[in-house]
Amino acid sequence: MNGWTHPRGVRITEVGPRDGLQNEARPIATDDKVRFVDALSAAGCAEIEVSSFVSPKWVPQLADAEQVFARISRRPGCVYSALVPNLEGLERALAARVDKIAVFTAASETFSRRNTNASIAESLDRIRPVVDGARAARRPIRAYVSCVVRCPYEGPVDGRAVRRVVDSLRGMAVDEIDLGDTIGAAVPDDVDRLCDSLDGALAPSDFVLHLHDTRRTALACALRALQLGVTRFDSSAGGLGGCPFAPGARGNLATEDLCYMLSGCGIETGVDASAIGAAAASVKRTLGDSASR
Amino acid sequence: MNGWTHPRGVRITEVGPRDGLQNEARPIATDDKVRFVDALSAAGCAEIEVSSFVSPKWVPQLADAEQVFARISRRPGCVYSALVPNLEGLERALAARVDKIAVFTAASETFSRRNTNASIAESLDRIRPVVDGARAARRPIRAYVSCVVRCPYEGPVDGRAVRRVVDSLRGMAVDEIDLGDTIGAAVPDDVDRLCDSLDGALAPSDFVLHLHDTRRTALACALRALQLGVTRFDSSAGGLGGCPFAPGARGNLATEDLCYMLSGCGIETGVDASAIGAAAASVKRTLGDSASR
- Residue B185 has φ and ψ, to the nearest 5°, of -100, -10
Residue B140 and residue B100 in contact, taking contact as beta carbons nearer than 8 Å: yes
Spell A51-83 as b/e; 16+ CB within 10 A means b: bbbbeeebbebbbbbbebbeebeebeebbbbbb
Of B35, B51, B171, B30, whose CA–CA distance to B99 is shortest? B51
User: Which residues does B231 contact at the CB level (< 8 Å), separation at least 6?
Assistant: B7, B9, B10, B11, B205
| Amino acid occupying residue A184 | G
Task: Give, in order, the Cα–Cα distances in Å from A106 to each of A3, A175, A201, B181.
Answer: 36, 17, 17, 40
Note whether A259 and A12 are within 8 A (CB). yes
B170: left (phi over 0), alpha (psi -120 to 50) or beta: alpha
Q: Give the residue from A268, A199, A245, A258 showing the smallest Cα distance to A6.
A: A268
CB neighbours (10 Å) of residue A287? 16
pLDDT score for B69:
98
* CATH pick for A11-286 out of 3.20.20.70, 3.40.50.410, 3.40.50.300, 3.10.20.740: 3.20.20.70
pLDDT tens sequence for chain B (293 residues)? 356 778 999 999 999 999 999 888 788 999 999 999 999 999 999 999 999 999 888 888 899 999 999 999 999 999 999 999 999 999 999 999 999 999 999 999 999 999 889 999 999 999 999 999 999 999 999 999 999 999 999 999 999 999 999 999 999 999 999 999 999 999 999 999 999 999 999 999 999 999 999 999 999 999 999 999 999 999 999 999 865 555 555 799 999 999 999 999 999 999 999 999 999 999 989 887 544 44
Question: How many CB pairs below 8 A link A and B?
Answer: 87
CA angle A196, A4, A208 (to 5 degrees): 45
pLDDT value at residue A291: 40
Chain A residues near residue B264 by CB distance under 8 angstroms:
186-187, 189-190, 217
Query: What secondary structure does DSSP assign to chain B, as a single string?
Result: --S----SB-EEEE-IIIIIGGG--S---HHHHHHHHHHHHHTT-SEEEEEE-S-TTT-GGGTTHHHHHHHS-PPTT-EEEEE--SHHHHHHHHHTT-SEEEEEEES-HHHHHHHHSS-HHHHHHHHHHHHHHHHHTT--EEEEEE-SSEETTTEEPPHHHHHHHHHHHHHTT-SEEEEEETTS---HHHHHHHHHHTTTT--GGGEEEEEB-TTS-HHHHHHHHHHHT--EEEEBGGG----TTSTT--PBPBHHHHHHHHHHTT-B----HHHHHHHHHHHHHHTT--S--
> Residue A178 belongs to what H/E stretch?
strand A176-181
Chain B positions contacting chain A at CB under 8 Å are 1-2, 4, 186-190, 192-193, 196, 213, 215-220, 222-224, 254, 257, 260-261, 263-266, 291, 293
Q: What are phi and psi of A225, to 5 degrees?
A: -60, -45
CB atoms within 10 A of CB B42: 14
How would you class A190 by CB atoms within 10 Å of its CB: exposed for 0-12, middle for 13-18, buried for 19 or more? buried
- CB contacts of B259 in chain A (<8 Å) are none
Q: Which of B189, B214, B276 has the highest number of chain A CBs within 10 A, making it the mutation to test binding with A?
A: B189
Query: What per-residue confidence (pLDDT) applies to B11?
Result: 98
B195: nearest CA partner in chain A: A2
Do A4 and B213 lie within an 8 Å CB cutoff?
Answer: no
Nearest to A187 among B215, B254, B265 (CB): B265
With beta carbons under 8 A apart, name residues in chain B contacting A218: 216
User: Which of chain B's residues have a Cβ under 8 Å away from the Cβ of A193?
Assistant: 1
Shortest Cα–Cα distance, B266 to chain A (Å): 9
Q: Do A196 and B265 touch (CB under 8 A)?
A: no
Tell me which chain A residue has its CA closest to the CA of residue B6: A189
> Residue B277: closest CA among chain A residues belongs to which residue?
A215
Q: Tell me the catalytic residues of A.
A: 243
pLDDT along chain A (293 residues), means of 10: 76 96 87 97 98 91 95 98 97 98 98 94 98 98 98 97 98 97 96 98 97 95 97 96 61 95 96 95 81 42
Tallying the residues shown for chain B, one arrives at 293
Nearest chain A Cα to B222, which residue? A220
Q: Is A195 left (phi over 0), alpha (psi -120 to 50) or beta?
A: alpha
CA B126 – CA B114 distance, rounded (Å): 16
Neighbours of A8 (CB within 10 A): 8
Distance from C-alpha of A287 to C-alpha of A21, rounded to nearest angstrom: 10
pLDDT of B1 reads: 39
Of B4, B261, B291, the CB nearest to A187: B261
Complex confidence, ipTM: 0.92
Q: Do the Cβ atoms of B216 and A187 come within 8 Å?
A: no
Q: Give the helix/strand (H/E) hosting A92.
A: helix A87-95
CB A81 within 8 A of CB A98: yes
The C-alpha atoms of residue A11 and residue A72 are separated, in whole angstroms, by: 22
Which of A1, A181, A183, A189 is best to mutate for the B interface (most B CBs within 10 A)? A189
pLDDT given for residue B247 in this prediction:
57
Interface contact A264-B193, CB threshold 8 A: no
pTM: 0.94
Q: What is the pLDDT of residue A24?
A: 83
Which residues of A sit within 8 Å Cβ distance of B? 1-2, 4, 186-190, 192-193, 196, 213, 215-220, 222-224, 254, 257, 260-261, 263-266, 291, 293
Active-site residue (options: B45, B151, B243, B259)? B243
| B87 vs A62: CA distance, rounded Å | 64
Please choose, from the candidates B108, B107, B66, B109, the residue with its C-alpha nearest in 3D space to the C-alpha of residue B84.
B66
| Nearest alpha carbon to residue A112 among A93, A126, A132, A128 | A126
Residues in chain A with CB shorter than 8 Å from the CB of B215 are 257, 260-261
